Every structure is written in C-alpha cells, then in structure tokens.
C-alpha cells in the first residue's frame, strides 16, 4: 500500500485518539448507555460458537445514521470510519444453533426495530478501546464482553415481524419477500444474521450474511431479466466514491456478467476477476463479496428498466481507499453509477475504451485480466433455438 494510504490512515487514527483523550471514559468504561442505531453483529471467529451482540455509541437520540449504509452517499472515508469507531460492540459467545433465549431474542428485536433502541450494557471488565486501522480489515470500535444488557422501546417493522413468526418459509423466500416489499438490504442482512429467517434457523456471521443476501436477491433478479428484450446499443455508466472508481458497460447480449478489480500496491497493479453466464457462478468468486454486491447493483437497474444485457464492471481501487469499509460501498457505488445518465456507444470495443478512460488503467490491461471477450464468442444453448 502506498505512502498516501498510510498518511490517510494515520490522520484518521490521530483524530480518533484526540477524541479518546476528551471522551475516552465513555468508550473504555465497564458499562455503557446509548441508543443502538439499531445494530447487531455476529462474528465468525471460533465458528460454530461465535461472538454476538449489539453495537451502540455512548449517546442517546437519533443514532440511525451510524449504521445505515444506504444513507451514506457523499460521506467521506473519515466520516464513515468514525461512524464505525463510535459504535461500542458488546459480545457474548453463543453457539450458532442457539436462536432462542432471552439474550438472543432481545437482539432479534433490535434487528427488526424501526428506530434506535435505548440500551444499557454492563461489561465483565472495561471495554477495550485499542483501535488499529490497516488496509486489510474493516474498522471496529471498542469491544467489551457483556455481563448484562437491557433494551428499551423497540418498534418492530411489520413485514419483518410477519416473516419472523413464519417458520414454514424458507430463508431464501423470506429474504426475497422482504426485499420485494421494500425493506433495505442492510436490514435484511441483520435479520438473516440473527437467525430470524427460514425453517432451520441459525446465527450467521455478519460478513457471510451480507454476501448470501446479495447472492439470493441477485439470482432472483437474473431469473426475471432473462425474459426481457436485449438492449440494442452499448451503454457506459460511471461513478466514483471513497477512492473507488466504478465503470459499467452494458452491451447487446444474453445475460453474461464479469467484474474485474484492479488495485494499486506501490508501483504495481494487482488484478482479480470472475464471471458467469445465465447458469450463474458455481464457485466462490476470487473477488469475494464485491462480486455479488456489484452484480446486485446492476441487476436492480436492468429489472427496473425491464431490459437484458451483457455486463462488464470495472472497479479501480485507488490508494485513497486506505481503509476498507465493507462491500456495501460496492453495492451503493454501482447503484449510484446506474443512476447516472449513460453514454451510448456504437461498439463493445469503444464502450470498454470509454469505460477504461475513466480509470488510470488501459483497455488492454483490463481485458487481459478478464474473460469477457471469450465469453462473448462462446455459443450458448440459446444460440441454437
């Protein structure tokens, strides 16, 4: 990672230490009182017995912005990192198949609440406020092992409450029901993570639930768009935020999708990519959850416009993206790209050339690290009917 990235991390961490010097007693006490946004977290360490608990700042009032990625458009990297650092995470070790009992059921009420929930937590010992920021891990605030927790005044979102009590509905169907009823994806992910959906319920680590939710919704949207007419010209969309540059090329073709990522490491470039056709992807993508997050952002646009297309997503991760804040920013970045007015281009080659020009990487380099050219020339079953 470049010196620029290190400088950004150092500046953010310095300001955080200044905050701790003024208000450190609020973050490193053996108890905390505040309003959870609402927010819950399920870890993956020590699976299948994982750390589970609420997250809250040491303040009351409307704290919803602290854990609402869909509302973070225009926020700086420093602002978003501070949202994360200001949330104190309480934890208890829970087996993943334990989805009942007072503690877990209270957290499920937090997950389905429509507003911030006043919360009091007492820790076994003072919460640790030793924070480190690097270029590999998402930032987290102070952590404390919960001795006791009390929650006050939750108000359940009706569609979620209905799904919660329907234990005959498969988890995948529950996710889709909530999505098509207008529930925010970040909210659905929390409920899935807390073992609130499906027949055989279990706790799901947060990072896994995020990718699984994106994947389930994406597969449903692909099934819908396969019946739509193909576009008749190439379109290029672009958007940049938080040190990420996204460009999306739509071209006349039955659904195929490829995402190519490039990142700067000193004077060298790293690349990763994966792809699928109408049959979907049959393995874990090399680029992990970003693959599904970007795919969902594009598919929502195709579904809304009732069109079908082949898709190439290019993501350049610049040194300014010094601290990874989660794949939500890929989904929201692509959503915003697809909301922009596209450029209409005559040919696929010209479209990729235009898309590449929005980045610091050449068309030749992008295509050399992807498979879309090969995919476009492969015959599919549809070509024979």
DSSP string, 71-94: G-TT--HHHHHHHHHT-EEEEEEE
Q: Which residue has the tokens 């079908």?
A: 308
Q: For the whole model, what pTM was predicted?
A: 0.94
What pLDDT, on the 0 to 100 scale, is given for residue 23? Answer: 85
CA dihedral 63, 68, 69, 74 (to 10 degrees): -50
pLDDT in tens, 206-252: 999 999 999 999 999 999 999 999 999 999 999 999 999 999 999 99
What pLDDT, on the 0 to 100 scale, is given for residue 135? Answer: 83
- d(CA 178, CA 162) in angstroms, rounded, equals 10
pLDDT in tens, 296-344: 999 999 999 999 999 999 999 999 999 999 999 999 999 999 999 999 9
3-class secondary-structure state, position 142: coil
pLDDT of 384 above 50: no
Q: Which residue has the tokens 């799904």?
A: 163
Q: Which helix (H) or strand (E) holds 38?
A: none
Could you give the residue ranges of the DSSP H alpha helices within 306-347?
328-339
Mean pLDDT score, 252-258: 97
- d(CA 262, CA 273) in angstroms, rounded, equals 9
- d(CA 205, CA 195) in angstroms, rounded, equals 10
pLDDT in tens, 95-134: 999 999 999 999 999 999 999 999 999 999 999 988 889 8
383 — pLDDT class (breaks 50, 70, 90) = very low
DSSP 71: G
Q: Which residue has the tokens 């480190």?
A: 132
* Strands across the sheet containing 244-251: 268-276, 257-265, 310-317, 244-251, 234-241, 343-345
Which is it for strands 310-317 and 257-265: parallel, antiparallel or unpaired?
parallel
Q: At what angle do helices 185-193 and 102-111 cross, to 10 degrees?
A: 170
Task: Specify whether the CB–CB gap between 153 and 118 falls below 8 A.
Answer: yes
Joined together, the tokens standing for residue 13 give 């961490």
Task: Specify whether the CB–CB gap between 154 and 117 falls below 8 A.
Answer: yes
- d(CA 256, CA 279) in angstroms, rounded, equals 9
Mean pLDDT score, 342-370: 97
Burial 280-296 (b: 16+ CB within 10 A, else e): ebeeebebebbbbbbbb
What pLDDT, on the 0 to 100 scale, is given for residue 3? Answer: 63
Bridge partners of residue 250, in order along the sequence: 235, 311
Reference 146, options 107, 190, 194; nearest CA is 107
């Amino acid at each position: 990672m470049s010196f620029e990235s290190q400088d950004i991390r150092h500046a953010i961490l310095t300001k955080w230490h200044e905050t701790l010097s003024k208000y450190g007693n609020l973050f490193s006490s053996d108890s905390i009182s505040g309003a959870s946004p609402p927010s819950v977290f399920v870890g993956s360490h020590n699976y299948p017995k994982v750390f589970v608990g609420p997250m809250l700042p040491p303040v009351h009032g409307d704290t919803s912005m602290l854990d609402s990625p869909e509302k973070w458009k225009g926020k700086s990297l420093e602002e978003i990192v501070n949202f994360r650092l200001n949330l104190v995470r309480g934890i208890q070790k829970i087996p993943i198949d334990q989805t009942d009992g007072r503690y877990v059921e209270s957290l499920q009420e937090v997950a389905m609440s429509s507003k911030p929930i006043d919360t009091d937590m007492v820790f076994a010992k003072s919460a640790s406020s030793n924070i480190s920021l690097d270029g590999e891990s998402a930032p987290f605030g102070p952590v404390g092992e919960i001795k006791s927790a009390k929650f006050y005044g939750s108000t359940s979102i009706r569609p979620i409450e209905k799904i919660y009590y329907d234990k005959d509905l498969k988890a995948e169907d529950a996710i889709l029901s909530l999505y098509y009823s207008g529930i925010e994806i970040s909210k659905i992910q929390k409920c899935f993570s807390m073992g609130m959906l499906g027949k055989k319920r279990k706790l799901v680590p947060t990072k896994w639930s995020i990718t699984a939710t994106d994947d389930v919704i994406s597969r449903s949207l692909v099934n819908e768009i396969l019946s739509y007419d193909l576009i008749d010209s190439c379109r290029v969309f672009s958007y940049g935020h938080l040190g990420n540059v996204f460009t999306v090329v739509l071209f006349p073709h039955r659904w195929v999708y490829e995402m190519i990522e490039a990142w700067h490491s000193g004077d060298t470039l790293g690349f990763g990519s994966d792809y699928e056709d109408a049959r979907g992807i049959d393995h874990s993508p090399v680029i992990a959850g970003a693959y599904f997050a970007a795919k969902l952002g594009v598919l929502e646009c195709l579904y809304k416009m009732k069109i079908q297309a082949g898709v190439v997503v290019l993501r350049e991760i610049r040194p300014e993206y010094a601290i990874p804040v989660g794949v939500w920013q890929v989904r929201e970045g692509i959503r915003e790209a697809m909301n922009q007015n596209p450029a209409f281009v005559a040919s696929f080659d010209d479209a990729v050339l235009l898309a590449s020009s929005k980045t610091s990487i050449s068309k030749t380099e992008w295509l050399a690290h992807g498979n879309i050219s090969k995919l476009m020339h492969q015959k599919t079953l549809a070509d024979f009917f």
